[in-house]
Structure 1
Amino acid sequence: MECFTHNKTPLFFLVLLATLTNVALGQGTRVGFYRTSCPRVEAIVQSAVDAANRANPGVPPGLVRMFFHDCFVNGCDASILITGPGSERTAPPNSLLRGFEIIDAAKTELERVCPGVVSCADILAIAARDSVLLAGGIARWPVPLGRRDGLVSRAADTANLPAFNDAVNVQIRKFSEKGLNTQDLVTLSGAHTIGTAACALFSYRLYNFNNTNGPDPSIDTTFLPTLRNLCPNGGDGTRRVALDTGSENRFDNSYFSNLRNRRGVLESDQLLWSDPTTQRLVQRFLGVRGLLGLTFNVEFARSMVRMGNIEVKTGTQGEIRRVCSAIN
């Protein structure tokens, strides 16, 4: 997919991007929140993400996933960053999250330049946007800012996170509980166009699906040997496999083509094609170039803004942490 940049972005694309900020109205966040109090905030976060990405191209999916996991638990308040016994970070769904040191690096520099001003929650929101850009997504969409950091982080609260084996109706319900609709579900699932998953999360589909002693019949039979070779029966469950075969480091819409071709790695992903409610939305994003690919990029940006406003704390709520891993 073509990567649109500022100097080649079509006018209608700019108009669509301009509408994204309207999604944030009434949520207490706004674009340009730090314009006078810390004008370099976005440049500083981008620098930290860029430096980490140069050392490890696997950084972008990690930061996007971290943002998702933060927002779905007590809102986008950086509670995922807290360390200590019983914190969200210790919960099984978060055990493989990575990129915490990048947020810490950005926070350290921001505390030097603008002490006590920028929340860790806003740093994470900016970093997630910049990660998509680094992976080949659209030119930077405006991120509404002004979040405050939360004061609670409990592993038990992660029970509502969407799971790798959730049925479509369960996925829809979990998104709806956070004010997101079915289109947001399909669009944000498209983040799996980058990144990997551990064999432990899907190997049950390869050998003994639903106690049948056979594979999940929704897996393409020509793709099954590839997955079994990567994840041998009884093998190392921590071994990681690309979620978007052939394009794991590129933010494009080939993820949706893989679902159509029955090559979704996670059961929850493949079910989006099997269910008529979500299949029509997957079909919207199919294609290889031009407007179809652009549609996914624009809708992804829109859904990221919507997700970024889940249960945000603003004004006098919460706090501005001095370090992101601990409450003041």
Structure 2
Amino acid sequence: MGARNTYQILAFLPCILLFGVMSTTSLEVGYYTKCAKTCPQAEIIVKAVVHKYIAMDPGFGAGVIRMFFHDCFVRGCDASVLLDPSPQNPNPEKLSVVNNPSLRGFEVIDEAKETLERVCPGVVSCADIIAFAARDASYFLGGISYEIPSGRLDGRVSIADEVLKSLPAPFQNLTVVNALFAAQGLSTDDVVALSGAHSIGRSHCSSFTTRLYPTIDPTMDQGFGSFLRTKCPQNANEDGVVPQDFVTPEQLDNQYYQNVADLKGLFFSDWSLLTSGETLNLLNDFRTKPELFAAKFGESMVKMGDIGGTQGEIRKTCRAVNYNY
């Protein structure tokens, strides 16, 4: 066989491996265009769907960015967070108290997947759709632009009990948060950069009311704490919701770092960024240099997107593994 023909077969091989259960190939920018041109419009389709939903409600953008984080930190970026309960798996990640009912944006991923299945069936993974959607939301909400490699596979395992031990919690200190990030191959710089996502979206009061009652936490601005008490009454019948950033709640920007410096972050984990010289210096850099924050946020999102396993499939629907079909 000639060298040219051998090269052509090898170039096509990753596309053949898309079908069935297989080992993941290396991630690559423009994967669906370069991989035998199987679905060159994939990223365009996802971007259009994300734009549609953010135009209706910017909270959808915040939701898919958070979804990317919650997916990647549990079993890697494999769309396991999207799986619905089933007789075979009655308690998936989606039902963890961390994700239910606060995680949102599932309809964005569903519509993107349904559109892609009509255009190029069986080609684009749900895991890549989440990665594209988070990238596009970052652009629409904050003008943050970066290229995200693709070629991920969809996992077949999703266990709710794995979520709490994998994801950082709002009440944890910097030492614990750093350790959880390090377990995923992420640095302290990534901790500070990705925490900037707290500049958008909403939080349930239950995530931070321990800082308000019985007394306002001394690590929180007392006036801000008093204001939050009006939004989150003690022993309320319903778990209220507030913006994570009251200044620019619908923009992914560096205002978060000013809020933290002013002791006006919602979470104890936000305040903990002030407890280390390393994180404090980076926080101040991001606070005063919005372009530096934008660049580092994109870099950290790409780095987080590299977390993944080696086995998977291309789901027909993002809510169930393929054996149900």
TMscore range, shorter length? 0.7 to 0.9
Q: Note the alpha carbon deviations across 1:132-152, whole angstroms, 9 max, x for none.
A: 1111232x3111000000010
Task: Give the RMSD, CA atoms, in angstroms.
Answer: 1.4
Q: Say whether residues 1:28 and 2:26 are aligned partners.
A: yes
Q: Which runs of 5+ in 1 are unaligned?
A: 1-25, 209-213
Q: Say whether residues 1:258 and 2:259 are aligned partners.
A: yes
- State the partner residue of 1:148: 153
Identity of aligned residues (%): 44
- State the partner residue of 2:287: 286
- Cα distance in 2 for residues equivalent to 1:135 and 1:201: 24
- Cα distance in 2 for residues equivalent to 1:187 and 1:78: 23
Runs of 4+ in 1 over 2 A off after TM superposition: 274-277
Which sits farther off after the overlay, 154-163 or 73-82? 154-163
- State the partner residue of 2:20: none
- Cα distance in 1 for residues equivalent to 2:47 and 2:309: 22
- Cα distance in 2 for residues equivalent to 1:236 and 1:242: 19
Number of residues paired by the alignment?
Answer: 290
- State the partner residue of 1:9: none
- Cα distance in 2 for residues equivalent to 1:239 and 1:251: 22
CA contact under 8 A between 1:41 and 1:110: conserved in structure 2? yes
- State the partner residue of 1:87: 92
CA contact under 8 A between 1:27 and 1:312: conserved in structure 2? no
Which sits farther off after the overlay, 292-301 or 217-226? 217-226
- State the partner residue of 1:121: 127
- Kindly report which structure 2 residues correspond to 1:1-328, keeping only aligned pairs within 5 A, or say none: 28-35=26-33, 36-84=37-85, 85-95=90-100, 96-138=102-144, 140-158=145-163, 159-208=165-214, 214-287=215-288, 292-313=289-310, 317-328=311-322
1:237: how far off? 4.9
CA contact under 8 A between 1:200 and 1:237: conserved in structure 2? no
CA contact under 8 A between 2:78 and 2:153: conserved in structure 1? yes
Q: Which runs of 5+ in 2 are unaligned?
A: 1-23
- Cα distance in 2 for residues equivalent to 1:137 and 1:238: 32
- Cα distance in 2 for residues equivalent to 1:184 and 1:55: 30
Q: Secondary structure at the match of 1:121?
A: helix
- Cα distance in 2 for residues equivalent to 1:136 and 1:236: 35
Letter in 2 for 1:196: R
Bigger radius of gyration? 2
CA contact under 8 A between 2:199 and 2:245: conserved in structure 1? yes
> In 2 relative to 1, CA 91–131 (structure 1 residues): closer, same or farther, beyond 3 Å?
same
1:27: how far off? 8.2
Which sits farther off after the overlay, 214-223 or 176-185? 214-223
Q: Secondary structure at the match of 1:197?
A: strand
Q: Secondary structure at the match of 1:223?
A: helix
> In 2 relative to 1, CA 27–111 (structure 1 residues): closer, same or farther, beyond 3 Å?
closer
> In 2 relative to 1, CA 296–284 (structure 1 residues): closer, same or farther, beyond 3 Å?
same
- Cα distance in 2 for residues equivalent to 1:259 and 1:73: 27
- Cα distance in 1 for residues equivalent to 2:188 and 2:291: 19
What TM-score results when the alignment is normalised by the length of structure 1? 0.86
1:267: how far off? 1.1
CA contact under 8 A between 1:71 and 1:77: conserved in structure 2? yes
What TM-score results when the alignment is normalised by the length of structure 2? 0.87
Letter in 2 for 1:170: V
